[in-house]
Structure 1
Amino acid sequence: MVQDSGDLARVEACQAIYSAASSARVNWVKSSGLAVGDWWQASSLPPALQTIQWSTGPLVYLGVYLSATHPSPPENWENLEGGVIEQLRKWTGLLRCLSLRGRALVPNQLVLSKLWYRLNTLVPAPGFLTNLRTSILEFFWSGMHCAPLGILHLALKEGGQGLKCLHTQVCVFRLQALQRLLYSAGSSAWSILAHAILRRIRGLRYDWQLFYLCPGGLP
């Protein structure tokens, strides 16, 4: 997270030291940067960093689209819902051969796993999870609903089928990230950015203390 142009100057200096030690160089011309905020101008950057293709996004990073103007760019969700529904459709011809447990394993293991990476890092588009929830229910019962979807989410020993709940899974991802931030012995690379963002909330300059001061969230 860059606070001012001085941070970028230090980035260039660190890269120069790395290049001298490893004989490897960064091709800045082929690099892309996400410009967040309006405090800087490209002309004020160090010469090497001026050649980066700066934009406000969307920019692809590790398979995810990032944007300085949108918390969850729609490019991340385009065609994803259709892809999941299409995969479920391919299994409809085998439904008569599958037990209820088998019908739960198809979305759990073979279909929904493609969603976990993006749901772990991004806020889903409005209606995205609700639409998929309906499609999964239609697939499981093949048009003949015998029980609410909430019952299917229960564990086998509780009378359910262990079908994963998308909304619950998103909450699990958020709690796991919070647990790593607050209680992890090692400092993850992303935690540095997370702590910097927390300190800027309402100008309070607090960090992890916010979760204890306002457990219900800031108004």
Structure 2
Amino acid sequence: MPNNPGNLFKQYTLILICPLLLIVCCFSKTTSFLGANFFHCPLLDWWFTHFTHLGDGIVAVLLVSCYFIVKKTTLAIKLLITFLFSGLVVQLLKALFQAPRPKTFFPENFYQYFIEGVTHSGFASFPSGHTTTAFAVAAMLSMNTSSRPICILTFLAAILVGYSRIYLGQHFVEDVATGIIIGVASSIFIDYGYKSYIVRGRAVGKNPSNQYERPAAI
């Protein structure tokens, strides 16, 4: 189906990532960071400080555990593999590039919106792990559901997690854009690989799963 939730999520991602990559190519990381942080207020500080935790690894692990508990084993396994694979890619890139976070990159007192106790310094900016996890989970859920509302809600939640990383001064735009690509690409790779494995197993009469779970409302 050309407009099933999984394909819609991919289309939404393409619409989102194209202008982000254009911004990354046309503007410096300082300019794009400041442009994305044109407005701050205490309410948004509080909101994004808490909402950003949806991109924590523990949230992904809890979600996987819930799907195991309700016997949606196939989806749980795909989510777990996607989370681990995308996380490994992120950690390898962080170790390779050791890019400074905004608080380390900017001179002292250059930027006034860093949140004490929330914004971290250091050299683990590229890419954004929270954004990667959020989009990896959202993409996998969308590719395994027949519900468009779930696709839309998970996509919007992932966007907000990604923006929260910039708002909180944890990452630059390029870090978030790369996280989106890694997260969605990992989900597509794992989902396609799993389905191909099932098809090959059936072809030789050795299906590794008792029953392939077709996309259904989550």
Same fold (TM > 0.5) = no
Place the TM-score, normalised by the shorter chain, in its bin.
Answer: under 0.3
Scaled by the length of structure 1, the TM-score of the pair is 0.25
Determine which structure has the larger helix proportion and give its number: 2
